Amino acid sequence: MKSMYWIGGIVVAGLVVGSGMRLLAHSGDAPKQAAVAPASVAATPAGATIADSVPAVTARASGSNSPVAAGGAGNDRYQVGDHLQQSAAVADQPYKASGKSVNGFREIAWESLIPKEWDAMAPFKGLKLDKMDDNDPRAVEALWKAKKYWKNAPVDQSLEGAQVRLPGFVVSLEREGEALKEFLLVPYFGACIHVPPPPANQIIHVHSAKPVKDIRSMDAVWISGVLKIDHSDTMMGSAGYSLKAVSVEPYTAPDNS
């Protein structure tokens, strides 16, 4: 995989909620075409800069960006990089968890899975991505450095055994007939499939207490269960956490109740 495309892909995907990365392409009320090509599309032609391949991205958090607030789990309404709304106050802090408990499981935000001192963008410090093209050896070096850095991303040890609830997108791992038994939960649409995996502290390896029917890859769900500090490497990505799911439900947007 071309280094420029890989780096461009992870930036377009928004990386992690806590990084402050947002897609300007999703601002406003009407959805627009995501500024990223499917993984099967060839890399940007030689001579183009990384910035050219990610024109709709800013590293500055923007309150005008609208999160996804779909009413169902079907994935045809999402674009690569979309995060799921957790707060009813869309214009305020849409990705902040309400903190309320549902059946004894406390809602948390994806950002809370990241240790406060850890910087997801550290491998790219000092690099002027807008000046680099695919032939730049610094892009290749950054690629491998980021892969290793993210695969071994630290987790928040205080979350061991926490009973939590959060929304995310499904990456299927193991099925029992038509039912899903094991999957990865990721914070944004396309992660691990259309674009490379996020850091390990932004992937949860989910084992369902019972097979879940009518759920496929990239469906949006709410999950509830007991979180464990448990690193695992799968063919789709490395997870820093595992969770024994008590409940897996189609995603619905929050309200003010």
| The pLDDT of residue 232 is above 80 | yes
Q: Is the dihedral of CA 13, 110, 249, 158 positive or negative?
A: positive
Q: Which residue has the higher pLDDT, 136 or 115?
A: 115
pLDDT for 181 equals 92
pLDDT digits (tens, 9 = 90+) for 64-104: 334 554 444 456 788 888 889 887 764 556 567 777 888 99
| The pLDDT of residue 227 is above 60 | yes
Q: Which residues have CB under 8 Å from 42's CB, separation 6+?
A: none
pLDDT band at 37 (very low <50, low <70, confident <90, very high): very low
pLDDT for 75 equals 64
CA 168/CA 220 separation, integer angstroms? 6
- pTM value? 0.74
pLDDT for 105 equals 95
pLDDT band at 41 (very low <50, low <70, confident <90, very high): very low
Residue of 79, 55, 188, 195 whose CA lies nearest to 129: 55
Query: Percent of the chain at pLDDT above 70?
Result: 66
pLDDT for 32 equals 35
Dihedral angle of Cα 204, 208, 211, 213, to the nearest 10 degrees:
-50
Using an 8 Å Cβ cutoff, are 82 and 188 in contact?
yes
How confident is the prediction for the chain on average, in pLDDT? 74
